Amino acid sequence: MFSRDSSPSRRRRLSAVARILSVTGIVVLLLGVSYAGIGAPRAPRIVTFSSGLPPGGGSASVNLTVNLTDSPSFEPSSLKAPPNAVLHLHLKNTGVLNHTFTISTKANFVVPTNWTPTQLDAFFTTNGSIVNISVPAGSTIFTNVSLPGYAVTGESFEIVSVLPYQFQAGMRGFLNVSVGTLGPGVVLDVQATDTFRFVPDALAVNATSYPVTVDVDATNIGVLPHTWTLVAQPNYTLLASNYSTYLQAHPPLGRASLANGGESNWTNFSVAAPGVYEFICEITGHFLNGMFGFLYVGVAPPANATPPSTAIVQVGILVGAASLLGIGAIFALAASYTGRFPRTPPSGGHTP
């Protein structure tokens, strides 16, 4: 004969334990589902575009993306377009100062850097401009402009910011009219998140001629700092243990720094050959936690799979998710039984 405590205080304690176990189990289950979602393969986003001059002649469409910085500078400072092109300009002011994007109408004329702001204004007042866009601090301007008929192959037109002393301080570049050195162009949008993922993390460019120009608009939709960094070599898989050494020896093909939440920056680059190019976040620990993706250029991406280098990270995440789900289930099961044993004894308060 032995006594079992069935007092109200004991039942209250068991009930509290059951509630704690239930809540813990639900939290762990939710974490497991969340991590399982991160580890699941993501379908690639396929991007198609037209390249070169259209059949039968006419105008080519060219995407040109330029960062206007407070250095002051244009990045890139050298642009190319074929004759009669329609320029799709994406102008991003990355600084806190206002700038302009102004293209001279005079072919092969280099504006003297010792000109005063008054002389520069007089020049553009007299000769006009192919395009003159004011880009306020922190803003992005999208505009289309057609090259004039007198812009022929081999000619170059200077680009300046006409705001006082910006041109004199180095904010200048050139639009070169050229045929045969241009590849097709495409603009891609990528988001960096604080769950250590790029969205999308698989991009495909259906290129048929090279080089192909690619302009990436990367946006940080989280609060942590990130980068979007594209390796220079095709079909090369980075490891978390060697990526910093690799990037020191092989400068990235493209890089967008996203130091602040909500920040958006362009990176522009030319891909010389087909292949699979990996992109990563360089911030310590982010690549290790799965912040990477692949750009497929002229190569068919897998239907719904990730290239081999993701296997370690994906398997690790899925195993971790399965463990969390299992732990959550155990907690939930324990909670369902806690408080049932011992059963409430008969009215006598004892069991034989």
**CATH code at 156?**
2.60.40.420
The CA–CA distances, whole Å, from 47 to 7, 89, 140, 186 equal: 69, 19, 22, 8
Is residue 116 classed as helix, strand or coil in its secondary structure? coil
Instruction: Count up the domains in the chain and report the number.
Output: 3
Residues 196 and 129 in one domain: no
Closest CA to 183 of 42, 63, 43: 63
Residues 92 and 198 in one domain: no
CA atoms of 238 and 287, how far apart (whole Å): 10
Residue 300 lies in a domain: yes
> Is the CB of residue 140 less than 8 Å from the CB of residue 264?
yes
Closest CA to 228 of 262, 261, 253, 195: 253
The domain containing residue 17 runs over which residues?
8-35+314-337
Q: What is the pLDDT along the chain (352 residues), one digit of tens a residue?
A: 444 555 666 666 656 655 665 566 555 555 554 444 444 444 445 544 444 434 334 456 777 888 899 999 998 888 888 898 888 888 989 899 999 999 999 999 999 999 999 999 999 999 999 999 999 999 989 888 999 999 998 899 999 999 999 999 999 999 988 865 444 457 678 999 999 999 999 888 887 777 777 878 888 999 999 999 999 999 999 998 889 999 999 989 988 889 888 887 778 788 889 999 999 999 999 999 999 999 999 888 887 544 444 434 444 444 455 555 555 556 555 555 554 544 444 454 444 4
Closest CA to 192 of 265, 297, 295: 265
Closest CA to 131 of 170, 79, 193: 79
Residues 138 and 251 in one domain: no
Residues 66 and 173 in one domain: yes
Helix or strand run (H / E) with residue 189: strand 185-193
Residues 226 and 288 in one domain: yes
Name residue, tokens 């192959």.
153
CA atoms of 216 and 95, how far apart (whole Å): 19
Type of residue found at 129: S
Q: Is 352 exposed, middle or buried (0-12, 13-18, 19+ CB in 10 A)?
A: exposed
pLDDT of res. 304: 59
Residues 145 and 237 in one domain: no
pLDDT of res. 335: 54
Please confirm whether the linkage preceding 44 is cis (ω < 30° from 0): no
pLDDT of res. 343: 45
79, two tokens: 């642009």
CA atoms of 258 and 289, how far apart (whole Å): 18
Q: Which of 134, 149, 177 is the last residue in one of the domains? A: 177
Question: What is the phi/psi pair of residue 320, to 5°?
Answer: -60, -40
Q: Which of 108, 142, 177 is the last residue in one of the domains? A: 177
CA atoms of 230 and 190, how far apart (whole Å): 12
CA atoms of 90 and 219, how far apart (whole Å): 15
